[in-house]
């Protein structure tokens, strides 16, 4: 499944109203650790059809970052049934990201 780039307008429909578990990657293009996490997140989106993977660029969507109190990036959040259930800040290895999804 392809990674979905989110905006303030699309977030609620794509994440909160999704019937799937959703992994959201809050990132910025200039962020080195974000560039390390990005290929891992994309790999998970290809491997796990049961997980919807989305990304939020905090520079172009600062209101979304503020809405979810994202002050450091990369920040990964897992949503289930419209609620944030897990979050992790910093460059996490694939095994740690996968364990967040369980």
CA–CA separation, 77 and 59 (whole Å): 17
pLDDT (tens digit per residue) in 31-86:
999 999 999 999 999 999 999 999 999 999 999 999 999 999 999 999 999 999 99
CATH number for the domain including 14? 3.40.30.10
In this prediction, residue 87 carries a pLDDT of 96
Contact 101, 23 (CB under 8 A): yes
| CA-based radius of gyration for the chain | 12
Total number of domains in the chain: 1
Question: Would you report the helix, strand and coil content of the chain in percent, each value rounded to 5?
Answer: 35, 30, 35
What domain range is 40 assigned to? 4-100
Active site residue 54: no
Indicate which residue of 15, 23, 24, 31 is catalytic. Answer: 31
- Number of residues that this document lists for the chain: 102
């Amino acid at each position: 499944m392809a990674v979905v780039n989110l905006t303030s307008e699309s977030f609620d429909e794509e994440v909160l109203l999704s019937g799937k578990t959703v992994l959201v990657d809050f990132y910025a293009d200039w962020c080195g650790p974000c560039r390390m996490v990005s290929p891992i997140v994309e790999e998970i989106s290809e491997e796990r059809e049961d997980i919807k993977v989305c990304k939020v660029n905090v520079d172009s969507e600062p209101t979304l970052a503020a809405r979810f109190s994202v002050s450091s990036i990369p920040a990964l959040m897992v949503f289930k049934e419209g609620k944030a259930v897990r979050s992790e800040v910093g460059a996490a290895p694939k095994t740690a990201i996968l364990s967040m999804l369980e």
